[in-house]
Amino acid sequence: MADISSKYLDGAALADALTAGIYRVIGAQELLNRINVFPVADGDTGTNLSLSLGAALTTTREPDDKHLGTLLAAIADTLLDNARGNSGAIIAQFFQGMSDSAGDRTRFTTYTFSKAVSLGSEYAHDALSTPREGTILSVMAAFAETLSTQANSDHDGDFQTVMERALQQTKIALANTQEQLDELRKAGVVDAGAKGFVELVHGMTDFIRHGHIAEEPDLTVLQGEDAPMLTVGSGADSEYRYCTECLVTGADIDRRKLREALSMLGDSLVLAGTKRKARIHIHVNDPEIVFETGREYGDVSGEKADDMHRQLHTSHDETRRFAVITDSVADIAEKDMERLDIHMVPARIQFGNRGYLDKVSITTEEFFAELATNPNHPTTSQPSPGDFRRQFQFLASHFANVISINLTAAASGTFAAAKLAAEKTNAHGKIHVINSSNASAGEGLLVVFAAECAKAGTSAERTVAAVEALIPKTRTFAILADLRYAVRGGRLPAWVKTIADVFRLVPIIRTTTDGRIATASFLLGKRNRIARFVRHVARRVADDGALNITIAHAVCPDDAAELEQHLREQIPDISRLTITGLGTGLGVHGGPGTLIVSTQPHTEPPTD
């Protein structure tokens, strides 16, 4: 524990004060989520601030002696790397200003502390393209102004007295936010981000007053790698769909020009950071344009994009008892994604040095066009636990339960990542993670069934049991038009393709009951391959009764239409048949021309 002086704060004392403040913010997380109504009532500001500030605890709680200037530089850098949403980016820029003001100082007097806070407030204000009064900016300004007024009248003031007065003024500014924004006045609440900042100041003041840190709150939400970035929506009537974020690193980033370029793309722009590192937060319809713009100024990393329209609809849906989420390997028709409010965590695709978010910053059509022409064969990486956790946290704040259905564990670590994310959230008991033992359209059929159960009002427990019963009955079959993509991706040795080409063999791929993706058979010759493929499928599902079927195709709609025709001729009892595009999960190895058929016995959602 640091020694407390009434006249100055050294690095150790400031670190302990910030730890106490961050603890208060984390402890108030649920309250902040509940009062979050601006810009939209999506209930995530508390989580954003907790995760953003919580990342700094690694620095503030280090036992080593802390040089004040070095401490603030490390905190500012950590917050910039881990900023979550609008409020997190603003907090990061606030501390960047404090760090720049502190420079090489070893301690703060009340006067130099006031200067640092004032610069932090200016930085935070300048980070927004359209600053609004009645937000976190207002209480930051009130905090800075009160400190400055006191310090100017007494350069050698007492920290306890100065902080207590400043806390009083920030509380008054917080109360005033309810009158500054119509959304807050109608809801009868103060601004959630502003309230979070007041909690930070309150905790710091308590430490300076009493010299001890309050009991550590539940830090479960901060555990695990790649902590999540929850995002703030832009309102029910926003023309923009995706809350998009990334980090740009470079030698000399021209932030003015970068801001000008970004401001033409969307709204709710926050640009935080320095000449070597900048955090972008913006609402747009095409996230890839943001990433492309960022690449003009440096290297882009940490790309994230959340569907605000779907989140907004979800946050106001009081009829469903649980939410459904999956990974982007599941191939589901867009009409079903929209109709059933299915959430998705995107995998990541890398063509050489160029990265994309699957089905978000690159469409399936764009992916296959790039696959056919790019000399760099793409690599795909599963979503990280943090990618899952940020979605789990959001959904768990609006639903009693969350069901996550994921790519077969036999082929990918996606299921394990989702499982770990569920265990690391502070709502893990509400999150049910299911191994689909399937992929592509088969995984999608299980997801759609779960979402139909949610729409019908079925409980999460009954739905989990029903999905698990359907897993061994859900089948996926595929034929590839060209084996060269599997060879390029290392899934097949070159000699296998050579033999297949010589003998004109068309492999039929299937998922097994234990979740593996394996070769089931070969068609000899390509003549009538689709009709013969359907006969193969029909024989294996003959005893499954009425079926729901999904066809997924890799940019070959005519082949998909022919496939549908043969399926309807060969399988007499089809309850529902859907055609959708094939995604990257299997498409990266199958390439253009790949056809998928997934079947599942038609089952009505169970009733409680």
- Dump pLDDT digits (tens) for 32-45: 988 887 765 556 78
Range of the domain at 197: 8-222
The predicted model gives 190-201 an average pLDDT of: 96
Reduced to 3 states (helix: H, G, I; strand: E, B; else coil), residue 399 is: coil
89, part of any domain: yes
State yes or no: pLDDT of 231 exceeds 70.
no
**DSSP states along 58-118:** HHHT--S---HHHHHHHHHHHHHHH--HHHHHHHHHHHHHHHHHHTT-SEEEHHHHHHHHH
Q: Which domain-ending residue is among 222, 246, 266?
A: 222
Q: Which of 192-206, 357-371, 489-503 has the lowest mean pLDDT?
A: 489-503
d(CA 454, CA 326): 14
- Strand ordering across the sheet containing 299-307: 267-273, 277-284, 242-249, 299-307
Claim to verify: residue 596 and residue 534 sit in the same structural domain: yes
State yes or no: pLDDT of 225 exceeds 50.
no
Q: In the chain, how many domains are there?
A: 3
pLDDT given at position 66: 78
d(CA 117, CA 590): 56
d(CA 79, CA 22): 12
Claim to verify: residue 156 and residue 291 sit in the same structural domain: no
pLDDT given at position 229: 34
Q: 606 burial class (0-12, 13-18, 19+ CB within 10 angstroms)?
A: middle
445, part of any domain: no
d(CA 426, CA 149): 41
CATH of the domain at 550: 3.30.1180.10
Per-residue pLDDT of 350-376, as tens digits, reads 888 788 889 988 889 999 999 989 988
Claim to verify: residue 81 and residue 26 sit in the same structural domain: yes
The predicted model gives 268-281 an average pLDDT of: 89
353, part of any domain: no
pLDDT given at position 4: 59
125, part of any domain: yes
Q: 198 burial class (0-12, 13-18, 19+ CB within 10 angstroms)?
A: buried
The predicted model gives 429-433 an average pLDDT of: 92
Which residue type, as a one-letter code, is found at position 527?
Answer: R
Per-residue pLDDT of 512-532, as tens digits, reads 999 998 888 888 888 899 999
For 242, list phi and psi in degrees, rounded to 5: -110, 130
Claim to verify: residue 23 and residue 123 sit in the same structural domain: yes
pLDDT given at position 43: 64
State yes or no: pLDDT of 123 exceeds 80.
yes
pLDDT given at position 88: 87
pLDDT given at position 41: 58
Claim to verify: residue 482 and residue 578 sit in the same structural domain: yes
How many other β-carbons are positioned within 10 Å of the β-carbon of residue 404?
A: 27
29, part of any domain: yes
CATH of the domain at 294: 3.30.70
Per-residue pLDDT of 86-116, as tens digits, reads 888 899 999 999 999 999 999 999 999 999 9
Per-residue pLDDT of 449-479, as tens digits, reads 999 999 999 999 999 999 999 999 999 999 9
Claim to verify: residue 204 and residue 286 sit in the same structural domain: no
Q: Which domain-ending residue is among 263, 286, 308?
A: 308
Claim to verify: residue 47 and residue 148 sit in the same structural domain: yes
Say which residues have a Cβ less than 8 Å from residue 510's Cβ, sequence separation at least 6. 475, 476, 477, 478, 517, 518, 519, 520
Claim to verify: residue 207 and residue 249 sit in the same structural domain: no
Claim to verify: residue 177 and residue 246 sit in the same structural domain: no
Q: Which domain-ending residue is among 292, 308, 324?
A: 308
The predicted model gives 210-228 an average pLDDT of: 65
pLDDT given at position 234: 37
pLDDT given at position 313: 65
d(CA 574, CA 439): 21
Give the pLDDT band (50/70/90) at residue 228: very low
Mean of pLDDT over the chain: 88
274, part of any domain: yes
The predicted model gives 20-34 an average pLDDT of: 92
CATH of the domain at 99: 1.25.40.340
Claim to verify: residue 191 and residue 277 sit in the same structural domain: no
Per-residue pLDDT of 523-571, as tens digits, reads 888 889 999 999 999 999 999 999 999 999 999 999 999 999 999 999 9
192, part of any domain: yes
pLDDT given at position 227: 37
| Percentage of residues of the chain with pLDDT beyond 70 | 92
pLDDT given at position 82: 83
Claim to verify: residue 39 and residue 101 sit in the same structural domain: yes
State yes or no: pLDDT of 491 exceeds 80.
no
State yes or no: pLDDT of 237 exceeds 80.
no
Pairing of strands 505-511, 475-479: antiparallel
Give the pLDDT band (50/70/90) at residue 586: confident
Claim to verify: residue 282 and residue 209 sit in the same structural domain: no
**DSSP states along 330-353:** S---HHHHHHTT-EEE--EEEETT
Give the pLDDT band (50/70/90) at residue 330: very high
Reduced to 3 states (helix: H, G, I; strand: E, B; else coil), residue 227 is: coil
State yes or no: pLDDT of 71 exceeds 70.
yes
265, part of any domain: yes
d(CA 142, CA 194): 11
State yes or no: pLDDT of 287 exceeds 50.
yes
